[in-house]
Structure 1
Amino acid sequence: MHTKRHWKPFTATCLGLSLMTLGFSLNPGLAGAQSKTFTVPANKGYVLPFTAGRHQGVSVPVGYPETIRPVSKWTDKTKSVVWYLYQEPGDYNFSFDGQVDKGIDLPFELSISDADPAGQFNEQHQRITFKGSGSRDTFTVGSIAIADTGYYRYELKPKADPKNAITLHSLFFTAENGKGEVHQTDYQSSPSVHLSFSSTAPTTKSYDWIYGEILVPKGGDPLATYYESLGFYRGYMGIQTNSDQERRVLFSVWDSKDAEKDKSIQQSDLVTLVAKGPGTVTNNFGGEGTGGQCYNPNANWETGKPVHFLMNVLPDSNGSVVISAWYQIDTKPWVYVASWRAPKEKRYFDGYYSFIENYGYTNGWMRRMAYYYNAWGKQSGGGDWVSFNRVRFSHTDGKPGQRVDYEQGVSPAYPDRFYMASGGYTPTKLTANEIPLGKQIPIKDLTSFKKQVQDALKEEVKRQ
């Protein structure tokens, strides 16, 4: 549900800043004894238009969670800085804390809009000029009336060469009579959202094969996104948007202990590579536990086409398990990724989980989205395939005033698919957590996959 939000019309000429009459006004009464001021670090914004790489034309240093480092090195007049702020109803005085080189006047356009594309607020624009004194100043903009709680988008865009002459430290919002709240998000990434799969059908919850599909729709694939498909007790598998040219399939398995934190770790705790496919790159990873990682840099999955995932776990007599993974893009042949040996482990899969994660901060306002569906597990010991038709939701944020822009549940467009979305600074949406049980077994004959596992074990023996 969306209600109209309003900015209080105003005009003014203020300290360090000249304003034209386009919808802003200065209200000195807002800064009364009962007022409260909210400080938004200027580096809690984004650079738009987004370009990959470090050289953005303006520096907005990443800071988590409350680090204040200034926006600076503004040399590109085509680049804006955009803040998405969560605000509650109230009247606010709005100002910038910054510095402009002495004797330089810098014209900008300030645009304020509803962050939700479905919102009814009409975008407003204001031409402003920062006048440089060479000292750190408070540049008072004017008053803003917020009628409804939600995300608001503030864009500051140069109208001439910024000349690397401006530094912005903070945005100030002073609420009249203490009514209102303003929150920047602690991090500029987007929420990680998860689905944990299970079944309404009778099952042992012990599976030696698991299967799932992902379809990323067009426009749902910003850079630095990981769409995990099969997550389990020792690792995970999924797809990534690594660059405009590279779309990886990734498969990782954790060690028995964290090599970066646990000093008691032994060589026997580390995962080892059993075998890998011809296009697979392998390495070690850390930062979230340690383990073995592999990926196919030339997978080249595409939006609008499904990616199929298959994984097998084979317990061995020496107290370890061998975990193998494959993928298929649309109707192309299946691709073998690798097999890893996970030590000190005896378990079969008991189901799996999926997620969407933004592992890059600089494009965290973009919306990531994918369908997750046709989920199955084959019961160990030669049992039947079981359809996973129920999910449990979870996420990494959702705190008031923070990142609540995520969606999870049964797709409104496809009643036989779950979906997840993250980012966009839109309202939270949660739908149903159950779909009908699947009827079509995904893979009827596993013979060729079983043979690849056995061939991998033979290759491991030869190396020893």
Structure 2
Amino acid sequence: MNDTKVSFGWNSYQTCSAQQCSKPQILEQGISYWQDSNIIISLFFYVAVAGAYDISLLSTEVQRSAELQVTIPAISYSYLAKFNTDSLNLSLGTIQIKYPAYYQVNFQGTNSLVNKKAGFYPQLNSLILSNSENQNAIFYVKDSYSSYFGRRGPSCHFRYNLEHSQNIQQFYNEVNVPKNWDTLGTFAMAIGFNYGYFGMQVNSETERKILFSVWSPQQTDDPSQISPDNAVLLVAKGNNTVINSFGNEGSGGQSYLVYPWVAGVSYKFKLVGQPSTDGYSIYSAYFKDPTICSDYILIASWKRPKTQSYLSGLHSFIENFEPETGNISRKAYFNNQKAIDDQNKEVKVLSASFSYDGTASQQQRFDYDGGVDILKGFYLRNCGFFNKTNVQYGDTFRKNR
């Protein structure tokens, strides 16, 4: 028999049962400083083997006697956990898992008289599952893995397979994030290539961006360390485009347009890339809103040094860059891809191959999916702790044309 300790710091999220409530601190050591009964703390884990599991709650500090309502909606489980200052490990009984799935456990303070005393609710450190006959039966984000990458969820990608890959000068793609799938932190990346990426983001409740970035050939996460001969140079930009440098994921030139794109609309992206005669290659990104009667607008054009290359490594991805929303699903459709070579001849896009990042490959999380819809195109989905799909790394999808 084995005990499994699922930490709150890596695997929990806060929701609220009221319009406004105070926010507890979700830190790597767990949940602290919460006293609002409208707060719901939700912990997620995946169980691969059906059976009975004993569960208990481990706290690192109990300031006062308190009651927490513990529920597992998927199995209609409800338990009133009564903490006192002498108990840091509280048994919650036994749950019966009938089938492999993700399970969500909710914790909420009650409005009882005992909870109205001074002090915070108990700190939540770990949920312990015991009596598992299979030590590999339970999957969750391990403490040894990054809490940032684990809580934000897996990213997944499509690599586009072309009829040929020589001298691809232009690439087109359309991206549609469906209504109600445009969660804060979503990055639907339309056109990625070996030296940069181009797509649209949800940056806040009030701001969205069309983003185009190009990496420097110098390997550093600090843009201030890039030498002049390795700097990505701006050639031109759109009227309202903001120009910056970026770091922390390699470094280079960043350009973005603050733009109120809307879920449910298929936006058009065009990328043009070719070598120049001075040892640079020039990459230019264009964007079109089909709801407006106009042509493509320039986001920016960048020169990348020490590079003699057309467009290569063409791909798309969906990503969540906001860890606090890793419990909410996002989805994007990618459609009507087209490639054109330097002879102005169209090169067919034959298929798209699915892949994912380290959060998925290390089995920290399974909430990723990809496939093809005949009408809407290729799709990617991530986050939200939906149950495992049958898609495998390297699966290739084709559209009927």
Shorter-chain TM range is 0.7 to 0.9
d(CA) in 2 for partners of 1:227, 1:394? 15
Secondary structure of the corresponding residue to residue 86 of structure 1: strand
Aligned: 1:145 with 2:99: no
- Could you report, residue by residue, the CA deviation over 1:126-178 in whole angstroms, capped at 9, with x for unpaired residues? 33322x22x56211111122232221110011122674242122111111556
Distance 1:148-1:165 versus aligned 2 partners, 3 A rule: closer
Which amino acid counterpart does residue 159 of structure 1 have in structure 2? T
Distance 1:388-1:156 versus aligned 2 partners, 3 A rule: same
| Worse-matched range after superposition: 205-214 or 384-393 | 384-393
- Could you report, residue by residue, the CA deviation over 1:361-417 in whole angstroms, capped at 9, with x for unpaired residues? 11101111010011111111x331223240111001434753111111112xx4461
What is the aligned counterpart of 1:164 among 120, 132, 135?
Answer: 120
Secondary structure of the corresponding residue to residue 229 of structure 2: helix
Bigger share in strand: 2
What is the aligned counterpart of 1:194 among 152, 157, 170?
Answer: 157
Distance 1:180-1:198 versus aligned 2 partners, 3 A rule: closer
Q: CA deviation at 1:188?
A: 1.1
Kept in 1: contact 2:223–2:252 (CA 8 A): no
Kept in 2: contact 1:224–1:360 (CA 8 A): yes
What is the aligned counterpart of 1:369 among 297, 314, 331?
Answer: 331
Of structures 1 and 2, the larger Rg is shown by 1
d(CA) in 2 for partners of 1:177, 1:195? 38
Q: CA deviation at 1:209?
A: 1.1
d(CA) in 2 for partners of 1:98, 1:145? 24
d(CA) in 1 for partners of 2:26, 2:92? 21
| Worse-matched range after superposition: 272-281 or 141-150 | 141-150
Kept in 1: contact 2:338–2:346 (CA 8 A): yes
Name the counterpart of 1:454. Answer: none
Name the counterpart of 2:147. Answer: none
Name the counterpart of 2:181. Answer: 220
Name the counterpart of 1:80. Answer: 40
d(CA) in 1 for partners of 2:225, 2:136? 52
Secondary structure of the corresponding residue to residue 60 of structure 1: strand
Distance 1:179-1:348 versus aligned 2 partners, 3 A rule: closer
Which amino acid counterpart does residue 303 of structure 2 have in structure 1? R
d(CA) in 1 for partners of 2:132, 2:322? 37
- Could you report, residue by residue, the CA deviation over 1:245-295 in whole angstroms, capped at 9, with x for unpaired residues? 111000000001124479995311110111211111111111111100010
Kept in 2: contact 1:416–1:436 (CA 8 A): no
Which amino acid counterpart does residue 149 of structure 1 have in structure 2? P
Kept in 1: contact 2:46–2:138 (CA 8 A): yes
| Worse-matched range after superposition: 72-81 or 425-434 | 425-434
| 1:18-417 equivalent positions in 2, closer than 5 A | 35-43=1-9, 44-49=11-16, 57-61=23-27, 63=28, 69-87=29-47, 88-98=49-59, 101=62, 104-114=64-74, 122-130=75-83, 132-133=84-85, 135=86, 137-160=88-111, 163-175=119-131, 181-186=137-142, 187-199=150-162, 201=163, 203=164, 205-260=166-221, 266-297=227-258, 299-332=259-292, 333=294, 334-350=296-312, 352-380=314-342, 382-396=343-357, 397-399=359-361, 402-411=364-373, 414-415=374-375, 417=377
Which amino acid counterpart does residue 12 of structure 2 have in structure 1? G
Kept in 2: contact 1:90–1:179 (CA 8 A): no
Secondary structure of the corresponding residue to residue 346 of structure 1: coil
Could you say what the CA RMSD is over the residues aligned between the two structures, in angstroms?
2.6
d(CA) in 2 for partners of 1:400, 1:209? 35
Which amino acid counterpart does residue 146 of structure 1 have in structure 2? I
Kept in 1: contact 2:354–2:396 (CA 8 A): no
Q: Please, what TM-score do these two structures have when normalized by structure 2?
A: 0.87
Any unmatched runs of 5+ in structure 2?
143-149
- Could you report, residue by residue, the CA deviation over 1:304-334 in whole angstroms, capped at 9, with x for unpaired residues? 1111001111321111011111101223222
Of all paired residues, the percent bearing the same amino acid is: 27
| Worse-matched range after superposition: 352-361 or 139-148 | 139-148
Kept in 2: contact 1:89–1:180 (CA 8 A): no
Any unmatched runs of 5+ in structure 1?
1-34, 64-68, 115-121, 438-464
Secondary structure of the corresponding residue to residue 166 of structure 1: coil
Secondary structure of the corresponding residue to residue 284 of structure 2: strand
- Could you report, residue by residue, the CA deviation over 1:200-252 in whole angstroms, capped at 9, with x for unpaired residues? x4x45321111110001001111011110010111010000011211100000
